[in-house]
């Protein structure tokens, strides 16, 4: 990996395990903790790239599985790679496709060599191996790429999760060997569910490979929030302190707060944009359902304290109208707000860490949520 | 009507009947010829108001019928009226609902007093009279409002069209009498289909009322383009020269060019945004269908000469991908381009008029279209 990548730990909060850092990539710096909006098919749904910048987004995620199926990774490559194609010149991360393979597709065959799946789009059979996952991600051209992992659901046997850990380690080595580009940081992914000894097994397998960053996979797959937090309590300390730590697919704002308190640096989740399309807004006081009748004649902004383009220009009444009328502008406006809210939260977390006040920030955050029952 | 409204004729082209003017309204000046994007339900689909400004849009249209059904005109009024609700501080025009009544709804009863219709949304019965149409439009609060008219389809008998002319005249008088706000310009609407004597009958009925502007209705309802142009040839000269002339619901870029050559000042049409949602782009060389396979690896912009945010940032290949993947950003990007193209055309028409070169502009416009067969 080239020297274009550099993770600098700036501060560690003395009231928690929270930390603030700078992650240098070929397409710019990411201040951590950071939240990456999800652009599954090379677009953060309903938002122009310039609006992401304006919101303060520094890094986005795109999904290898979806892009490999359509338009195909070679097409993305021929369109200049993800940065050029999407007109996003900031850092990008692609996942490995592992999560989608195990959640979206019909598995036809899996062994240590490869996985054969049926496309959720047209039923065609696809082969994916660690080597192929790297080739695809090199075509896509993101700054950070992920090893192919096996991500089992929450409710399978311990033995099944152990097998997934072993296979994920095996595949991680092959991914590292397959990598040809020096301008992409390849992350290893820990598996092991909520089991401490299996997480240790996973760390023991992956740490010697010395990846430039580590992701925690296999969470947010059906376990309770408390189980996720407990798992982070013992898993994060297994990871090197001088490398970025990425909790995949998480989550609600409170989950991000809790995970940052436990030392996680990077997050991604579809919730801000998906909930926006379902007329649900995130606020400091919890979620607001904009289809609710009570917003009909409400001339106040969704969140009077929010500086986003939506809250400074439009009323709750107008937002409700747009959703009731099925107008595209509703999801567009609410996606901008929800993403802005997530950015506000991670910015505040960073500030709290620098001021050694993260535990206090967490308490206030929880109190605000609890003191506003049923905003909707 | 207050002095806030003032139409100033600046230039008349000496190669055609084309004219350039300035139409002062309480929310700013509209340079004519002008095209108004359609915001049916108080949103131009897929476009932020700030983007409309950036494109150069000066005035937009909203639909009385749709807004009266949902959210209801009183709700719009309570949300501050259309300008505040939509966050559009430029001029707005509302139609009277006449066109939608006769094209979208099931007519239950119509007589000189009123029309009773069944809502296309939920089947509820609604009464609409000239007086009610004015009350609704006063609630909505646009700068320009329209008399309730009867707009029959193209293929009915001459007698039926004559009856519609008579009723439209009767209703126009009642709308004028019902008007209470002085900050809205109420336009009369000519009917009469493609029949010269019926258009004369309509003009004879409406001109004595001395509306501050006149609309030509009853076109773009199924007749051939040549029939529309012929009708404009004899209808436009019936209208006063010192008042704005608005051709309702028209149309394709070539229709706008032809109508401007015949002395029309204002236009509206859903085509730029509707075609955008169907992956069809307007260009000087005709339409481009972005789902076409040939765009798959095309890294060039949709229109290299277009200064819009879409053409300066994204490739044809990416646009195709967005449409094939069913992503919202496709319609969003293409709506901006298509609206920008319409603005470019009306801006060029204005310049051509000022330079007395409108006939030449029209010829070049037609030649460009004809020399590019099957862009798609």
ipTM: 0.97
Q: What superfamily would CATH give domain B6-267?
A: Queuine tRNA-ribosyltransferase-like (3.20.20.105)
Tokens of A242: 């001088």
Report the residue from A45, A70, A318 with minimal CB separation from B328: A45
Could you tell me the residue ranges of all domains in chain B? Answer: 6-267, 276-370
Tokens of A355: 């001021």
Contacts of B329 in chain A (CB under 8 A): 43, 45-48
From A95, A139, A143, A265, active-site residue: A95
Instruction: Report the chain A residue with the minimal C-alpha distance to residue B75.
Output: A297
Confidence of residue B373 (pLDDT cuts 50, 70, 90): low
Instruction: Report the chain B residue with the minimal C-alpha distance to residue A315.
Output: B85
**In degrees to the nearest 10, what's the CA dihedral of A352, A255, A365, A316?**
120
- Residue B165 DSSP one-character state: H
What proportion of chain A, given as a percentage, has pLDDT over 70?
A: 98
CB contact under 8 A, B296 and A49: no
Q: For chain A, list residues with pLDDT below 50.
A: 375-376
Contacts of A46 in chain B (CB under 8 A): 328-329, 332
Tokens of A89: 């010149």
Reported as a single tens digit per residue, the pLDDT across B282-295 is 999 999 999 999 99
Q: Determine the residue among B71, B76, B83, B310 to mutate to test chain A binding: the one whose Cβ has the most chain A Cβ atoms within 10 Å.
A: B71
CB contact under 8 A, B329 and A70: no
Contacts of B331 in chain A (CB under 8 A): 328
- Residue B323 DSSP one-character state: H
CB contact under 8 A, A297 and B329: no
A77 in contact with B at a CB cutoff of 8 Å? Answer: no
CB contact under 8 A, A327 and B45: yes
A87 in contact with B at a CB cutoff of 8 Å? Answer: yes
Report the residue from A45, A49, A324 with minimal CB separation from B71: A324
What proportion of chain B, given as a percentage, has pLDDT over 90?
A: 88
B109 in contact with A at a CB cutoff of 8 Å? Answer: no
From A149, A265, A268, A303, active-site residue: A268
Contacts of A293 in chain B (CB under 8 A): none
A81 in contact with B at a CB cutoff of 8 Å? Answer: no
Contacts of B46 in chain A (CB under 8 A): 328-329, 332
CB contact under 8 A, A75 and B296: yes
- Residue A38 DSSP one-character state: B
Contacts of A53 in chain B (CB under 8 A): none
pLDDT at position B296: 98
pLDDT at position B3: 67
Interior CA angle at B259 toward B256 and B265, to 5°?
A: 85
pLDDT at position B1: 52
Q: How many CA atoms lie within 13 A of A251 on its CB side?
A: 22
CB contact under 8 A, B43 and A327: yes
Residues 6+ apart with CB under 8 A from B316: B288, B290, B295, B298, B299, B300, B301, B302
CB neighbour burial string for B148-158, b if at least 16 within 10 angstroms, e if fewer: bbbbbebeeee
Reported as a single tens digit per residue, the pLDDT across B312-352 is 999 999 999 999 999 999 999 999 999 999 999 999 999 99
B29 in contact with A at a CB cutoff of 8 Å? Answer: no
Confidence of residue B374 (pLDDT cuts 50, 70, 90): low
- Residue B204 DSSP one-character state: H
**In degrees to the nearest 10, what's the CA dihedral of B147, B238, B31, B187?**
-10
CB contact under 8 A, A80 and B299: yes
A102-111, A236-245, B138-147, B235-244: least confident range: A102-111
CB contact under 8 A, A328 and B327: no
Q: Residue B351: how many CB atoms within 10 A of its CB?
A: 13
Residue B250 pLDDT more than 80? yes
Q: Give the pairing of strands B286-289 and B245-247.
A: unpaired
CB contact under 8 A, A309 and B48: yes
Residue A367 phi, psi (nearest 5): -60, -45
B177 in contact with A at a CB cutoff of 8 Å? Answer: no
> Which strands form B125-128's sheet, in the order they lie side by side?
B106-110, B115-118, B125-128
B85 in contact with A at a CB cutoff of 8 Å? Answer: yes
**Nearest CA to CA, how far is B81 from chain A (Å)?**
11
- Residue A105 DSSP one-character state: S
B42 in contact with A at a CB cutoff of 8 Å? Answer: yes
Tokens of B251: 């149309």
Architecture of domain A6-270: Alpha-Beta Barrel (3.20)
Q: Which residues of B are catalytic?
A: 95, 268
pLDDT at position B185: 98
Contacts of A79 in chain B (CB under 8 A): 297, 299, 315, 317-318, 321
Name the nearest CA neighbour of A290 among A251, A258, A329. Answer: A329
Contacts of B325 in chain A (CB under 8 A): 41, 66, 70-71
Residue in the structure block whose two tokens are 């598995």: A107
Give the span between the Cα atoms of B85 and B102, in whole angstroms.
Answer: 28
Reported as a single tens digit per residue, the pLDDT across A22-43 is 999 999 999 999 999 999 999 9
Residues 6+ apart with CB under 8 A from B104: B65, B120
CB contact under 8 A, B42 and A328: no
CB contact under 8 A, B75 and A297: yes
CB contact under 8 A, B86 and A318: yes
The answer to whether B75 touches A297, Cβ cutoff 8 Å, is yes
Mean pLDDT, chain B, integer:
95
CB contact under 8 A, A297 and B79: yes
Contacts of A321 in chain B (CB under 8 A): 41-42, 70-71, 75, 79, 85
């Amino acid at each position: 990996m080239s020297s274009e990548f550099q993770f600098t730990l700036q501060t560690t909060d003395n009231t928690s395990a929270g930390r603030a850092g700078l992650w240098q990539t070929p397409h710019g710096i990411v201040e951590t903790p950071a939240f990456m909006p999800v652009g599954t098919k090379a677009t953060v749904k309903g938002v122009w790239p310039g609006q992401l910048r304006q919101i303060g987004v520094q890094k986005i995620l795109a999904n290898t599985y979806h892009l490999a199926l359509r338009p195909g990774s070679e097409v993305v490559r021929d369109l200049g790679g993800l940065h050029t194609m999407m007109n996003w010149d900031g850092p990008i991360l692609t996942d490995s496709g592992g999560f989608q393979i195990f959640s979206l597709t019909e598995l036809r065959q899996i062994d240590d060599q490869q996985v054969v799946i049926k496309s959720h789009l047209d039923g065609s059979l696809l082969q994916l191996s660690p080597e192929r996952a790297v080739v695809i991600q090199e075509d896509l051209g993101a700054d950070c790429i992920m090893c192919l992992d096996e991500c089992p659901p929450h409710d399978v046997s311990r033995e099944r999760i152990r097998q997934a850990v072993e296979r994920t380690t095996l595949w991680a080595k092959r991914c590292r060997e397959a990598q040809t580009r020096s301008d992409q940081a390849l992350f290893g992914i820990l598996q092991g569910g909520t089991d401490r000894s299996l997480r240790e097994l996973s760390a023991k397998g992956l740490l010697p490979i010395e990846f430039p960053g580590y992701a925690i996979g296999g969470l947010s797959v059906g376990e309770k929030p408390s189980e996720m937090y407990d798992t982070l309590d013992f898993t994060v300390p297994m990871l090197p302190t001088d490398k970025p730590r990425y909790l995949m697919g998480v989550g609600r704002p409170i989950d991000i707060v809790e995970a940052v308190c436990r030392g996680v640096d990077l997050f991604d989740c579809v919730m801000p944009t998906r909930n926006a399309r379902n007329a649900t807004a995130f606020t400091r006081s919890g979620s607001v359902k904009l289809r609710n009748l009570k917003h009909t004649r409400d001339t106040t902004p969704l969140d009077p304290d929010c500086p986003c383009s939506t809250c400074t220009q439009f009323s709750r009444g107008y937002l409700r109208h747009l959703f009731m009328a099925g107008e595209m502008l509703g999801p567009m406006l609410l996606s901008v707000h929800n993403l802005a809210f997530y950015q506000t939260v991670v910015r505040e977390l960073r500030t709290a860490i620098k001021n050694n006040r993260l535990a206090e920030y967490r308490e206030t955050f929880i109190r605000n949520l609890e003191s506003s029952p049923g905003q909707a």
